[in-house]
Amino acid sequence: MSQTQIQTQSQAQSKLVPPHGSAELKPLLLEGEAREQALELASTLPTITLSSRERGDLIMFGIGGFTPLNGFMNKADWQGVVDNMRLQSGDNKGLFWPIPITLSAPKATADSLSQGDKVALVAQDG
C-alpha cells in the first residue's frame, strides 16, 4: 500500500462517527504475550461451552463491535436492558442498549460459580 493510499484511508477513517457510547472502539481481542498468558490461565479454569450465538457475540467483543461493553452483561445490566433498554452499571450507566448480551451456562456449572469467578469459554467443536 502506498503512502498516499495510507493517508487517504486514515483521512476517511477520521471522518467516521464515533462508536456508540465511546470516543473510540474498544476491541477486546488479545494478541502476543497477553494472549499467551490468557490461554495459560484458561487451561486452569472451569469451562463454559459457547452456543453459536455466544461465539458470535465473543467475536463482536473481540473486534470492538459491542463497544463500550467490556464483556457479557451482569445481572443489573441485563435487567436494565430488558426493562428499559438502558445499561445499569459502571461508566455506561443509563446508556441506551436495546439488546441483552448474555452468556448462558448449565445449571450445575452456574451453581458452582460465584459472581466474579473467571471461566474459560470454549467452542462447541473444541
Q: What is the pLDDT of residues 67-91, one digit of tens each?
A: 999 999 999 999 999 999 999 998 9
Cα dihedral 10, 30, 116, 125 sign: positive
Domain 24-122 matching CATH 3.40.50.2300: the answer reads no
Coil/strand/helix, residue 96: strand
> Is this structure's pTM higher than 0.85?
no
Check residue 8 and give its pLDDT: 60
CA terminus-to-terminus distance, the chain: 37
Task: Give pLDDT tens digits for 23-48.
Answer: 888 999 999 999 999 999 999 999 99
Residue 57, number of CB atoms within 10 A of its CB: 21
Q: Distance of alpha carbon 74 from its chain centroid, rounded?
A: 12
E strand spans, the chain: 47-49, 120-122
Distances from the Cα of 28 to the Cα of 25, 35, 62, 68, 111, angstroms: 9, 11, 4, 10, 27
Q: Report how far residue 29's alpha carbon sits from residue 122's, in angstroms, rounded to the nearest whole number.
A: 15
Q: What is the mean pLDDT of residues 36-65?
A: 96
Domain ranges of the chain: 24-122
Q: Report how far residue 113's alpha carbon sits from residue 7's, in angstroms, rounded to the nearest whole number.
A: 49
Task: Give pLDDT tens digits for 2-11.
Answer: 656 555 655 6
The model's confidence at residue 19, banded by pLDDT at 50, 70 and 90, is confident
